[in-house]
DNA sequence: CACGCGTGGTA
DNA sequence: TTACCAAGCGT
């Protein structure tokens, strides 16, 4: 960087006859200018002119994958307060991290977060890679997140293409091919938009634009800084883009959950390390099956053989790819009952600290106090 | 490459 | 109430 005292020679003023019509600033310039005036203040975002902390950029980007800004806020604050650096995060047991992640969803992110922190700490000296390829090699970091970290934390000229950017670009160029087939074209167009300077600000500007102006429904074209460039707007089809292929219907499953009480404690179980809710604590349950529950078969799957009392009502929960309904069976275990395999007795008064995924927190709330 | 993988907010 | 949506990744 040149010394601050160095005088920058003023560019020669263009002669009046060459500038009869003011040339509109390039697309990216106008988006950056809009960002400078309207950027959102977010917990993980560095203030203007301040350097971004790669750790916080990484942490926030992982949390924000398929997750709303509103949902991430409290988790990001809790994580950065408890684990201020990647070294702190790497030093924590996985189960503690999973419990802190409970309720945020997509728990593979938490497992990858832990694996990534340990890798960065032990293999890379606690320093995040500053290249697209280096970042892409980290667990839990894909094309979007690598570009987001590279641009925001290191000002690498990379295009972070998320759902927001897909929507903005689809509309700017009136791309009518449905997603995901249109992804490669969108990626090319998005990369062509990235300015040489301020790539990180531009990435965040595009996401702010998509989140606050170019919204999925009822986009606010009247106050959009690039509405005049928008091909979809010109055709009046901005509200219909991006096109998406229809999702298939979610199956409906049922199961029996076992609310097993022993004095002041309740029986919880650690789930298998991978797959749905992998590694998380759960309220034990029978197999989740489509159709009706076979009561005797379900009871045979209980971790303890007890006399069961069906609680009134049911507990419903929607996952990404299926709907689930629990019937809750309550039972009392004898005082000397040892926890079965993968199970632990947990104080009922501290059930909120168990780090139960939301589906099981619902069951705990449904059970009698 | 299509699918598995959570949750809470919104119309 | 139902359906869709939100800063994707791994396999």
Query: Which of A21, A27, A42 has its CA nearest to residue A224?
Result: A27
Within 10 A of A353 (CB to CB), how many other CB atoms are there?
A: 11
| DSSP-based three-state secondary structure for A257 | strand
Domains: count for chain A: 2
pLDDT digits (tens, 9 = 90+) for A303-354: 999 999 999 999 999 999 999 999 999 999 999 999 999 999 999 999 999 9
Q: Which domain-ending residue is among A215, A240, A265?
A: A240
A167/B11 CA-to-C1' distance in Å: 19
- Amino acid whose CA is nearest the C1' of B5: A106
| Tokens read off for A359 | 């589906």
Q: Which nucleotide is nearest to A104 (CA to C1')?
A: B7
- Amino acid whose CA is nearest the C1' of B2: A180
Q: Tell me the CATH number at A99.
A: 1.10.340.30
Confidence of residue A368 (pLDDT cuts 50, 70, 90): confident
Is residue A10 a part of any domain in this protein?
Answer: no
Percentage of residues in chain A having pLDDT higher than 90: 91
Spatial distance between the Cα atoms of A247 and A47, rounded to a whole number of angstroms: 40
A261 and A349, same domain (yes or no): yes
| Tokens read off for A4 | 């601050």
A358/C1 CA-to-C1' distance in Å: 21
Is-contact A178 A241, C-beta < 8 A? no
A317/B8 CA-to-C1' distance in Å: 12
Mean pLDDT taken over chain A: 92
Is-contact A187 A161, C-beta < 8 A? yes
| DSSP-based three-state secondary structure for A242 | coil
pLDDT digits (tens, 9 = 90+) for A345-362: 999 999 999 999 999 999
A65 and A150, same domain (yes or no): yes
Query: Which of A210, A162, A204 has its CA nearest to residue A186?
Result: A162
DSSP one-letter code for A301: T
Is pLDDT of A221 > 70? yes
Helix (H) or strand (E) holding A263: none
Nucleotides of C under 7 A from a protein CB: 4-10
Q: Which residues of A are catalytic?
A: 61
Q: Which nucleotide is nearest to A67 (CA to C1')?
A: C6
Is residue A22 a part of any domain in this protein?
Answer: no
A102 and A201, same domain (yes or no): yes
Spatial distance between the Cα atoms of A107 and A280, rounded to a whole number of angstroms: 8
A216/B9 CA-to-C1' distance in Å: 14
Is residue A1 a part of any domain in this protein?
Answer: no
A39 and A168, same domain (yes or no): yes
- Amino acid whose CA is nearest the C1' of B9: A68
Query: Which of A69, A249, A225 has its CA nearest to residue A162?
Result: A69
Is pLDDT of A25 > 90? no
Domain range for A197: 27-240
Is pLDDT of A57 > 70? yes
Which residues interact with strand C by a CB < 7 Å criterion? A 42, 44-45, 60-61, 64-69, 106, 108, 112, 139-146, 148, 162-164, 167, 204, 207-208, 210-211, 215-216, 244, 246-247, 318, 320
A234 and A270, same domain (yes or no): no
Mean pLDDT, rounded, for A113-142: 98
- The per-residue DSSP string of A111-174 comes to HHHHHHHHHHHHHSTT----SHHHHHTSTT--HHHHHHHHHHHH--------HHHHHHHHHHTT
Query: Which of A156, A235, A209, A188 has its CA nearest to residue A28?
Result: A209
Within 10 A of A257 (CB to CB), how many other CB atoms are there?
A: 27
A56/C7 CA-to-C1' distance in Å: 14
A119 and A266, same domain (yes or no): no
- Amino acid whose CA is nearest the C1' of C5: A216
A105/B2 CA-to-C1' distance in Å: 21
Distance of CA A78 to the CA centre of its chain: 16
Is residue A8 a part of any domain in this protein?
Answer: no
Nucleotides of B under 7 A from a protein CB: 2-9, 11
Burial A309-343 (b: 16+ CB within 10 A, else e): eebeeebebeeeeeebebbbbbbebeeebebeeeb
Is-contact A317 A365, C-beta < 8 A? no
| DSSP-based three-state secondary structure for A325 | strand
Is residue A14 a part of any domain in this protein?
Answer: no
Spatial distance between the Cα atoms of A231 and A302, rounded to a whole number of angstroms: 59
Is pLDDT of A53 > 80? yes
Q: Which nucleotide is nearest to A147 (CA to C1')?
A: C7
A354/B3 CA-to-C1' distance in Å: 31
| Tokens read off for A185 | 């074209």
Which residues interact with strand B by a CB < 7 Å criterion? A 66-68, 70-71, 102-108, 180, 217, 248, 275-278, 317-321, 357-359
A192 and A319, same domain (yes or no): no
Spatial distance between the Cα atoms of A78 and A36, rounded to a whole number of angstroms: 28
Confidence of residue A5 (pLDDT cuts 50, 70, 90): very low
Is pLDDT of A302 > 70? yes
Is-contact A171 A230, C-beta < 8 A? yes
| pLDDT at position A369 | 73
């Amino acid at each position: 960087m040149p010394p601050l005292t160095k005088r920058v020679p003023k560019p020669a003023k263009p002669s009046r006859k060459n500038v009869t019509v003011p040339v509109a600033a390039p697309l990216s310039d106008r988006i950056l200018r809009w960002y400078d005036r309207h950027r959102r203040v977010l917990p993980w975002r560095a203030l203007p002119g301040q350097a971004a902390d790669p750790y916080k950029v990484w942490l926030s980007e992982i949390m924000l994958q398929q997750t709303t800004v509103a949902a991430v806020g409290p988790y990001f604050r809790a994580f950065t307060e408890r684990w201020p650096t990647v070294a702190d995060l790497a030093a924590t047991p996985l189960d503690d991290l999973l419990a802190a992640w409970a309720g945020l969803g997509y728990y593979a992110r938490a497992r990858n977060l832990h694996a990534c922190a340990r890798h960065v700490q032990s293999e890379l000296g606690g320093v995040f890679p500053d290249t697209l390829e280096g970042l892409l090699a980290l667990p839990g970091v894909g094309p979007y997140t690598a570009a987001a970290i590279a641009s925001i934390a290191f000002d690498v000229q990379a295009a972070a293409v998320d759902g927001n950017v897909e929507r903005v670009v689809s509309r700017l160029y009136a791309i009518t091919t449905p997603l995901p087939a249109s992804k490669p074209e969108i990626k090319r167009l998005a990369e062509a938009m990235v300015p040489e300077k301020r790539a990180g600000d531009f990435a965040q500007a595009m996401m702010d634009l998509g989140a606050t102006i170019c919204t999925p429904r009822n986009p606010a074209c009247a106050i959009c800084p690039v509405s005049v460039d928008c091909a979809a707007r010109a055709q009046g089809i901005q509200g219909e883009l991006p096109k998406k292929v229809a999702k298939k219907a979610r199956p409906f499953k049922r199961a029996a959950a076992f609310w097993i009480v022993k004095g002041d404690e309740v029986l919880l179980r650690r789930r298998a390390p991978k797959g749905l809710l992998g590694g998380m604590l759960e309220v034990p349950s029978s197999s989740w099956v489509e159709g009706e529950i076979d009561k005797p078969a379900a009871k045979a799957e209980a971790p303890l053989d007890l006399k069961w009392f069906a609680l009134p009502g049911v507990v419903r929960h929607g996952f990404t790819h299926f709907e689930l309904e629990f019937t809750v069976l309550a039972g009392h275990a004898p005082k000397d009952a040892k926890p079965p395999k993968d199970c632990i007795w947990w104080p009922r008064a501290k059930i909120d600290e168990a780090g139960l995924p939301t589906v099981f927190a619902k069951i705990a709330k449904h059970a009698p106090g």
